[in-house]
Amino acid sequence: MSPRFIQGLLAMLVGIQLATAGELLKPPAIWKDYDPDRGDFKEEIIKQETRNGLFYRESYISAYVLDEEIRVYCKYAVKEGVVRAPGLLNVHGWMGTPEINKEYVDDGWAVMAHDYCGKTGDREHYTKYPARLRHGNMDDGAGPVIHDSTREGKSITDPKQTSEYLWYAIQRRVLSYLERQKEVDKTRLGASGYSYGGTLMWALGTDPRIKAIVAHFGIGWIEYYRNKQVWMYNNPYVEPAKSPGEAIFLAGMSPEAYVPYISAATLFLNGSNDHHGGFERGLESFKRFQPGVPWAFAVQARGHHNTEKIEQDCKFWLDKYVRGKEAVWPEHPKSEIRLGPDGVPQLIVEPASAERVKKVEMYYALRNPCSFARFWRDAECVKQGGTWVGKMPVMNVEDYVFGYANITYDTSIVLSTAFNAAIPSKLGRAKATETKSDAISAGRKGMNAWTDVAEVEGPGGIKGFRSINNRTGSGTEQLNDPKWQAPPNTQLAFEFYCTEPQTLILSADNYNDVEIKIAASDHWQKMVVPAQKLINRFGKQPMSDWSTVGTIHFAPQPGSDITKVIFAEFKWMK
C-alpha cells in the first residue's frame, strides 16, 4: 500500500469525522433503535374494580429505556362491556399526576393515563426510575431534570442524556400497553396532553399508531428562546450564540424539532398570555408540517394557562380523526394587516365557510415582543361581504402592532387566524391616532398604568391582571393624578383569584407597608385595606389616609409567588 494512498485514506477518514462531528442528530436518527413493544410488561395490578358500569384499574408496567427497566404507574378506565373502543392516552402536566378524563370514558372511549413525574412528596404510587435514570424525576430532590445541560452544568453531548428522552420513550410504551387492552380498537388511538403533557404531544404525534393529538399549551420554543428572551418580534432581532447543549437539544429533543415528522392530525389549544412561551412561534410551527397532515389551532385571548372558551374543539377533533365521525372542520382562515384609507392599521380576516360563521372576535396589541406580557385589546370589527375588518390604532408607527382573530362557527368550533405582526410605517403612509389617556382602570378595562403585568381572565370571564416579575412585583403611579386620587377617609378594595396561598407586601409611596395574606380559593375573593393597616417603615406609625398616597406597589414575600395571583376591580370605598 503506497504512502500516498494511506495519506489519502487518512485525509478522507478525518473529513468523515469532521462532517459527522458537525451534524446534529434529528428525531428519526435518535429513535431508530427504540422499540416501544420490546420486553414483557410485567404488569402488577394494585387496584381494580367495576363501579357504576365503569371498569377501573391501577397498575405498574415495565418500560425498557437505555438498557434500564422503569416501572411506570398507569391508570385505565372504560365502560363495562365495551368492545372496539377508541383509545385515548391522557398525559398530565408538570409535577402532575395521572388523571382519567371521565367525560371521554362516559362517551365510550377507553382512557389511559400514566405518571412520568416520578418521585416527589409523599405520593404512594408514582413511576419509579432507576438510579442511573434518576433525571426522569421532576422533583429536584429526586432528579434533577436534564434539558440542555447536565447536573454539573455542562452541555449535554447526546440527546439521550435528556429527561425528555425518558418521557418520550415512556409515553410510547404506555401507548403499547393501551392498544393491548381487550376493549381497545388499536386502529383508533388518540392522545391529549395538558401543559407539559402538551409539550410531550409533539413527539408522540410522530408515532404512526396515533391518529390524532391535542396539545394544550406546550408547543416548545422554551429552551433557549424563552429562557434567553429571544422573542420573535424583538426589534432589533438578535439571536445570541447557542451553547453546544442547546444546539443538540433544539435539533433533536425540543418539541418543535418533531414538527416536520408528525403524522397525526394535530390540534393546538393555547392562551395568548400563557407564560410557557411565545404562542406566535408555536403557530409558525404549522408551516413546517408535512403536506396532507391535518392541523388546526385556537388561541384563547388573554388566557393564562386556561382554554375553557375553546375547549370544545378538543372533542370535535378527536371524534373526527380518531373515531371517524362526520364533522365539518373549516379550512384555516386568511388574515393580514393593512393600512386603511386613513392610514390606521387594520386587521383583515377572511374566514373559510363564511356563511357558517357565528361571530368574529378581533384582538390587537402594541409593541411588546414578550407574548405573555402583552395587553390584548378588543378591536371592533365590521363585516364587508365575506371579510371582516377591524381597526387597530397605534401610538407609534415605528413600533410593532400585533393582531389575530377568533372565529366561532355555528357548530361551536373556534379557529384562530395566524398571528399577524407589522410595523405600520413599512406598510405605507401610516398614521398614529391613539393618544395617551389617564382614564385607565386597574381592573377590567386596562392594565397600562401598572408595571410588569399581563392582562388575563379568571373564572367567570372576569378580566384582571397578573404580575410577570416575581422578583420586583408590580406597581402603579396613577394615584398621583387627581382623577385617581383617593377621596378622604376611604379604603382600598380589590378582588383577587388565587388557587395557592401567597403572602404579599403592599406598599404606599414606598415607605408605608402592610403584609397581605392571599388565601387560596377556586373563586374570586374580595379584600378591603384601611389606610391605618399600613405602617411607616421609618416612624413605625400607621398611615393616616389613602388620599395622601400617589403610588402603590405589590411585591412577594420571600417564598411566595405573585405571578400566581390575578388582581381585578381596584376601587375606593367608604
Contacts of 434 (CB under 8 A, 6+ apart): 393, 394, 395
Residue with C-alpha cell 403584609?
Answer: 515
pLDDT reported for residue 15: 31
Secondary structure of residue 255 in the 3-state scheme: helix
Amino acid at 177: Y
pLDDT confidence bin for 11, thresholds 50/70/90:
very low
> How are beta strands 414-416 and 401-409 bridged, if at all?
antiparallel
How confident is the model over 27-35, as a mean pLDDT? 97
DSSP string, 147-162: SSB-TTSPBPSSGGGS
Residue 430 pLDDT exceeds 80: yes
How confident is the model over 142-158, as a mean pLDDT? 95
Residue closest to 167 by CA, chosen among 223, 127, 211: 127
User: C-alpha cell of 139?
Assistant: 422533583
| Residue, of 440 and 279, whose pLDDT is higher | 279
pLDDT, mean over the chain: 90
User: C-alpha cell of 6?
Assistant: 494511506
The angle subtended at Cα 43 by Cα 191 and Cα 125, nearest 5°, is 75
Tens digits of residue pLDDT in 257-274:
999 999 999 999 999 988
Least confident of 2-6, 116-120, 525-529, 559-563: 2-6
Residue closest to 469 by CA, chosen among 449, 495, 451, 448: 451
Secondary structure of residue 16 in the 3-state scheme: helix
Secondary structure of residue 397 in the 3-state scheme: coil
Domains, in order of start, for the chain: 23-322 (3.40.50.1820), 334-426 (2.60.40.10), 453-573 (2.60.120.430)
pLDDT confidence bin for 435, thresholds 50/70/90:
low
| Residue, of 144 and 550, whose pLDDT is higher | 144
Tens digits of residue pLDDT in 152-186:
999 999 999 999 999 999 999 999 999 999 999 99
Amino acid at 153: G
Cα dihedral 285, 413, 109, 208 in deg (nearest 10): -30
User: What pTM was computed for the model?
Assistant: 0.77
What φ, ψ does residue 200 adopt, rounded to 5°?
A: -70, -20
Secondary structure of residue 454 in the 3-state scheme: strand
pLDDT reported for residue 374: 78
pLDDT confidence bin for 477, thresholds 50/70/90:
low
Burial 293-303 (b: 16+ CB within 10 A, else e): bebbbbbbbbb
Residue 275 pLDDT exceeds 90: no
